[in-house]
Structure 1
């Protein structure tokens, strides 16, 4: 097996088509973050993106997208943003992950949302649930499950939607829209949320804004940016921007106008989005790894993703271990404990309030 490392812009149509066919041949790869289009668009904005192209004789058998950083440190494409990572490959191929890392010119490759079952999965790793809304049995079946498992949430969300309509005006849901205006509104809400909760504002980085805009403009049968918004009396209330394949919608950036918080606009939006997604052929909404109350209320299944690293004997791998592994272990400890997680969340929100007050 041979490995050739190229920049995404060097991939031709035969390679992109083969990548897409390998992805669609295995349900494990049915996530837009593993689509060739995602890597190609990120590659337009970042010089550190590479793709390892694996060939066995005359056959293209795999595509491994990654970022190459100083000292041979490798990360997933758009690290910190993606909810599915890994190698898209033909079935039954044998891959030595350490050799692949070496052939890519890397000392280490770290991951936090690796698709479980990958040949890249090292013996030592952590697994985390990634909640989903499973629509494969249809919308009515999902609603029946939701009523059984989260009946109070379902009923209260419908009640609050009716109240929103009475208090403010007609509630409308626009699905799969391409207007940049609503996108800017959504990103503004998201920036406010990051600041309010003490998190780093991703949209303070121009390349991420440009990425989202380019993804919104992309619309093919196998891959597209998906924006949808809920309005009350014509005023935007809540929305979401994500990505889709033919059958999977990846949740990415949901947000809402806090002026309508008492109506639970996020839940109103998610139910509306799920219903429209089901009618458009989406079978799974992957809400992504993370402990969020709304995910627990809405999920009716889950996938698993892995966190860890593949490293070889190299000084860069040693530096990476000192800088990253203790921090990752500490974070995992906090996230695994409800008490520590709640304390950390409160601390971040307090920091966010102080930061907002100082900047006003």
Structure 2
């Protein structure tokens, strides 16, 4: 196995085509977060990005995008933003993890949404977690909407009832699946940023490079990666919005937010149901909700995928130090998330911190989110 290292900004057309080809040969690589367009977007706005290309008989057969710092610590590309990670490869290709890390000049490689069946990384997975998905064609003759009405008739009925009431109260409901007005993208980011602060979470949109990345991906219109902005309007008023990437067959739920003044109408659920319907009619087979325990995901999912987190390492002092530092932090977080008795008090504490934070800034009523 020959491994060469490349920059991602300005990746050649031939390597992009080979990468797309590897995605097309296996449905498990169809997620848009595994596309070169996502990795190239991160590279344009975030330092330390690289691509390892695996070759057999001179032909590129595997693609491993990653981030590397000056100490040789590596992370999955877009770690903290990406909901799907993998070494994308053609069928039958395998690799030696130590050899790969040496070629990449990495002592450790951290991941948190690794797809199943990446066997060379298997020994380094420290935990696996559910990633709910919606099969938009639940059966040969059954649409997702039909499946949901059968599985949760009360939920579907209540959501539609609230949608009709919202239409009566504020104006006709209008859903734009692929909104191209950049002003609505800024509105979504403003809503989401305020929601992060209000709930005590890290505000992703306080980081200029993430704002620039989302702006960039909004412009991408390719078969394997298209940035899709969806908006629900009541009359002329935006009610809820979502931005996420899609490939030809997979749509990834990413950033969702809504107007908290309208929370009574359940705009988050309204948005997800509208998106699922529109994406299914547009040829998407799977809507990936991403890792995380949320009640609305349990309501909407048809099944679950499994994703792994962990640290692939080779013998090196930096790898040992990094693992000793990061693993307890991840373990504590996962313990809290896995136990409702711990998670609920932690959420209340974060919201209290967020309320104090936003009350000082005077922006505590800007946003809401279903995610």
Describe the SS at the equivalent of 1:178: coil
Give the Å deviation of 1:248.
0.5
- The aligned residue for residue 76 of structure 1 is 76
Q: Output aligned runs, 1:85-104, within 5 Å.
A: 85-104=85-104
Q: Does residue 202 of the first structure (1) align with residue 213 of the second (2)?
A: no
Contact kept, 8 Å, 1:256 with 1:265, in 2: the verdict is yes
Contact kept, 8 Å, 1:86 with 1:120, in 2: the verdict is no
Describe the SS at the equivalent of 1:8: coil
Give the Å deviation of 1:51.
0.3
- The aligned residue for residue 132 of structure 2 is 131
- The aligned residue for residue 314 of structure 1 is 316
- The aligned residue for residue 183 of structure 2 is 181
Q: Does residue 47 of the first structure (1) align with residue 51 of the second (2)?
A: no
CA distance in 1, matches of 2:239, 2:91: 45
TM-score by length of 2: 0.94
Give the Å deviation of 1:149.
2.5
- The aligned residue for residue 215 of structure 1 is 217
Give the Å deviation of 1:152.
1.6
- The aligned residue for residue 18 of structure 1 is 18
Q: Output aligned runs, 1:1-360, within 5 Å.
A: 1-9=1-9, 11-123=11-123, 124-136=125-137, 137=139, 140-360=142-362
Deviations 1:254-274 (A, max 9, x none): 110101000000111111111
CA distance in 2, matches of 1:305, 1:282: 21
CA distance in 1, matches of 2:28, 2:223: 19
Give the Å deviation of 1:139.
9.1
Give the Å deviation of 1:59.
1.4
Deviations 1:174-227 (A, max 9, x none): 111221011011111101110111001100111111111111111122321000
CA pair 252-15 structure 1, distance change in 2 beyond 3 A: same
CA distance in 1, matches of 2:63, 2:119: 13
CA distance in 2, matches of 1:9, 1:211: 13
Describe the SS at the equivalent of 2:223: coil
Give the Å deviation of 1:145.
2.2
Give the Å deviation of 1:47.
2.5
| Uncovered stretches (5+) of structure 1, i.e. residues with no partner | none
Give the Å deviation of 1:7.
0.9
CA distance in 2, matches of 1:94, 1:10: 27
Describe the SS at the equivalent of 1:121: helix
Name segments (4+ residues, structure 1) moved above 6 Å. none
| Uncovered stretches (5+) of structure 2, i.e. residues with no partner | 363-371
Contact kept, 8 Å, 2:62 with 2:93, in 1: the verdict is no
What is the alpha-carbon root mean square deviation over aligned residues? 1.3
